[in-house]
Amino acid sequence: MKTKFLFLFAAVILMVLGSCNSTIYFTQEMRNELNNNSLNVEDVQFYTSKKLVLKRNLTYDETKIARGEIKIENGQYVEEIIIPKNTPGVAVNFNSKRIDVAFERGDNRDLKFMVNDDNLYQITALSWNNEFGKVQYDTLFYHLVPGSDKTYLKVKKDNIYKFQKNKRVLKGRTVGN
């Protein structure tokens, strides 16, 4: 009896915590709905599903001009750009299967998200080598750290309803009615 109570209590807690999540994954179906309603993807507020970390090794001279956080790692200077989970971003360029999202102002400061097999927009890179993705950011090349490849675009649940226009299906009219 006590185990059933604990199980039920845990299930209720998980449901409450799960319902507090205000963002959902942005899908190709949502994108199609935008297009069908003549809405622009540039008007959508996107968020990251998890933390993204971009890294690159620096020479000593480059450490003076690097814009990100600089660390010494294994005797080398490393610049990191960290984009925390749920960071807001905007679409700056797109095509039917890709959305380039910027999380800060400036030219070429965007990351590319492509539709994957599950119809979710997932981070993509120029190339992949052992879970490290090579991306271009602000005219420089960085590596996405392992785990960043599982980052997806999300949108707020409340904003999804703004994508949809009012629809009604007519039943038609018959003679005499």
Q: pLDDT for 17-33, tens place per residue?
A: 444 569 999 999 999 98
Whole-Å CA distances, 71 to 77, 138, 140: 6, 19, 18
Q: Which amino acid is at 60?
A: Y
> Mean pLDDT over residues 83-90, rounded?
96
Give every strand in the sheet of 69-73, ordered side by side: 69-73, 76-83, 52-58, 140-144, 132-137, 127-129
Q: Give all strands (DSSP E) within 12-108, no chain letters.
A: 23-25, 45-48, 52-58, 69-73, 76-83, 88-94, 98-102
Output the pTM of the full model. 0.73
Note the pLDDT tens digit of each residue in 31-57: 998 888 888 899 999 999 999 999 988
At residue 112, the 3 state secondary structure works out as strand
Residue 52 corresponds to which tokens in the numbers above? 């993204």
Of the chain, the percentage scoring pLDDT greater than 70 comes to 72
- Strand partners for 19: none
What per-residue confidence (pLDDT) applies to 98? 96
Question: Would you place residue 114 in the very low, low, confident or very high pLDDT band (cuts 50, 70, 90)?
Answer: very high
Question: Would you place residue 2 in the very low, low, confident or very high pLDDT band (cuts 50, 70, 90)?
Answer: low
- Strand partners for 76: 73
Torsion angle of C-alpha atoms 154, 105, 140, 151, degrees rounded to 10: -10
> Mean pLDDT over residues 65-88, rounded?
75
What per-residue confidence (pLDDT) applies to 6? 40
Residue 150 corresponds to which tokens in the numbers above? 């599982």
CB 125 within 8 A of CB 116: no
What is the domain partition of the chain in residue ranges? 21-157
